[in-house]
Amino acid sequence: MNNTIKFCVDEKNNGKRLDIFLSENINHLTRSFLKKLIENEQVKLNKRVLKLPSTKVKYKDQITINMIENQEQNIRPKKIKLNIVYEDNDILVINKPKGMVVHPGAGNYEDTLVNALLFMYKKKLSNINGPLRPGIVHRIDKETSGLLVIAKNNFAHSHLGDQFSKHSIERRYICLAWGVVRPLNGKISTLISRDKKNRQLMTVSEINGKKAITNYKTIKVFNIQDIPKISLLECELETGRTHQIRVHLKYKGTSLLGDKQYGKKNIKFKKINNDFFIKLNKLSGQALHAKTLGFAHPKTKKWMNFNSEVPESFKKILSLLENLSS
């Protein structure tokens, strides 16, 4: 079932850009969101599907917007316990556990965050990103833990999405990486695109791709006998590209502990601390946690800031490194 919005262009709006015309006539949706609707072929001009937000409208033009409503489409609601950090009528902030996929996709249709959200909130979620991603404004990798904001309605989703587009959202991650990143503090700015050899991975590109910017600082370098050098880093995202931190660390010549996609799959040690080796193998994925999330509330405009603790497996290996280095 679709929700349709229709307009007829009056004389005073003759010659305006389509996205500007719509943003001036639909107060609860931002211009960036309306652009996305046009690019997703959900807007028709005189029964003709459009793709360009810059299209000029004319007097008496008929505009139809097709808002796809939230349908489960074979996505089954499932009772899964969620760690809810904050909730009100518009948004939900969740601390996602390591190992949980955010939304259904190839091979993952039952134990995702979306399955849990549908069980708890049914249709009280935004539908801007389609039936497979109700409420989902952004995402983090399956094996990355940490904070996510969920939109309960399209108004909230539109305004949060606008903040992500303008890069005004605060997103800080904490991670453990092999070796020492030089310089100790800095900014990594590259283009990121799909890896031509492996389409499941991303890579830094010199020619094409999307701009990706990661600011990082070294909190501590652990230099311990019988353990390779390890750096505790804080990374702040200016952009949010797929696998961005992992790709940028590989670009700098290192990788995260436990990252078998962008690091070495089977690291061989000549000599290794046994306690460390055991905890390293219990990481089950990269040592990366989305610890801080900050944004302006879509309705009140008040700045909100949330922090979360690293998961137990990350905490144990970090505590061991701290104890051995003291």
- With DSSP H G I counted as helix, E B as strand and the rest as coil, what are the percentages for the chain, rounded to 5? 20, 30, 50
Angle at 305 between CA 309 and CA 144, to 5 degrees: 40
DSSP 15: T
Among residues 231, 226, 234, 224, the alpha carbon closest in space to that of 325 is found at 224
Please pick, among 19, 61, 90, 141, the residue that the annotation labels catalytic. 141
Cα 211 to Cα 205: distance, rounded to the nearest angstrom: 10
Q: Give catalytic status of residue 141 as yes or no.
A: yes
Among residues 38, 42, 43, 295, the alpha carbon closest in space to that of 156 is found at 295
Cα 155 to Cα 90: distance, rounded to the nearest angstrom: 8
Please, what is the end-to-end C-alpha distance for the chain in angstroms?
Answer: 62
Angle at 115 between CA 100 and CA 148, to 5 degrees: 55
The token pair that represents 267 in the structure block: 């690291």
The token pair that represents 216 in the structure block: 């990082």
Residues annotated as catalytic (active site), given as ranges? 141
